[in-house]
Amino acid sequence: MNQGLAMNQVRGDYFDTFNTITSPAPQEVLQAAMDECAYYNKLLSKTVPGSDVWRINHNHGEPVTVSEHTRTILEMALEMNRASEGAFNIAIGPAIALWHFTDGTAVLPDPEKLKEAVKRADCSRICLEENTVTVPEEVEIDLGGIAKGYICDCIADSLRARGVTSALLNFGGNVVTVGKRPDGQPWTIGLQRPSGERGKEFWAAVKSSDNTLVTSGIYERSFQLNGMTYHHILDPRTGWPVQNHILTVTAVTKSSLLADAITTALFVLGPEKGLALAQKYGVSAVYLRDDGKVFFDPDLDIVFVK
Ligand code: ADP
Ligand code: MG
């Protein structure tokens, strides 16, 4: 959406997604903040040898000392796992891998293997004591569903520390706003229409200043088989993609770390349980169902697009 006045924009390819910072601040200031993503990627990626997550997964069940960043993310991840009764689960990776969402093979997983993977996704066996993490050998963690939110918060704080008073960060659908638009109005954030052209068609718009909007949608990574759509958000209790007719859910709050964790949980839980969980955390949420019905927190400043 056009946010008015002269803007600079930097782009960065991190966390398997496309990230942008848009702001009237000088390009080199924005670039310096964006460059910090490389540090977080090295720390939090599952696939970078030596990262905190890699060390946790390769230490044969022995304790690992992690950074303050990783500790903060893990604390939120474990809390959200408990608060959502298991709907948000950072140990679901082995089940995700069986679905091959990213390599284009549209096949259903072997049910026995899926059962085994679900059994391994037991967050109650992840032990976090201050900065020490102990994870049994068969449990594997992946912060892919939560780290982007935390990093977005950190980069927004870095921009503020560099004197930036107005910016819009979009890290693959995690949006954080710093201050207001340069013209003093709040930023307007469009919610992607699931069936529409990416970045062009919106089903609603939310006003935002110094907060975050995070969306979980089934249109991101999925495949079709025999008339069914299989998408990348799994019900951790079964290992199957959630089938509750929800197309997309967006959470609006201050912390993008919280928003990232909770949107995945909200998706799995559906509107009734989800809106109650959101309220408990002071998060405003809006759901869109496949029949066009909308469920949302009445406090949310939202405009629906016909
Ligand atoms: P995205 O990463 O596409 O922006 P999300 O933040 O909703 O969207 O995270 C989805 C990712 O989280 C999936 O790609 C998958 O790896 C993982 N995931 C899927 N189901 C769950 C779940 N129930 N709990 C935690 N992570 C999940
Ligand atoms: Mg998430």
CB-ligand 1 contact for 179 (6 Å cutoff)? no
Model-level pTM?
0.94
At position 278, the amino acid (one-letter code) is A
Q: Indicate the helix (H) or strand (E) that contains 268.
A: helix 256-280
Q: Is 244 exposed, middle or buried (0-12, 13-18, 19+ CB in 10 A)?
A: middle
pLDDT over threshold 90, residue 106 = no
Confidence class for position 66, pLDDT limits 50, 70, 90: very high
Name the region of 125 (left: φ>0; alpha: ψ -120 to 50; beta: rest). Answer: alpha
- The predicted-structure confidence for 281-290, as pLDDT tens digits, reads as follows 999 999 999 9
State residue 6's pLDDT score: 86
Give the distance (Å) from ligand 2 centre to CA of residue 11: 21
The residue to mutate among 80, 90, 264, having the most atoms of ligand 1 within 8 angstroms of its beta carbon, is 264
| Cα four-point dihedral sign 124, 76, 101, 246 | positive
Convert the pLDDT of each residue in 129-142 to its tens digit: 999 999 999 999 99
User: How many CB atoms are located within 10 Å of the residue 219 CB?
Assistant: 15
CA 261 to chain centre: 6
Q: What pLDDT was estimated at residue 181?
A: 96
Residues 155, 204, 260: CA angle, nearest 5 degrees: 35
Domains of the chain: 8-25+165-304 (3.10.520.10)
- CA–CA separation, 2 and 18 (whole Å): 19
% of residues, the chain, pLDDT over 90? 85
Q: Which of 73, 232, 246, 277 to mutate for ligand 1's pocket (most ligand atoms within 8 Å of CB)?
A: 232
| pLDDT higher than 80, residue 151 | yes
Question: What is the rounded (10 degree) CA torsion for 156, 159, 163, 165?
Answer: -50
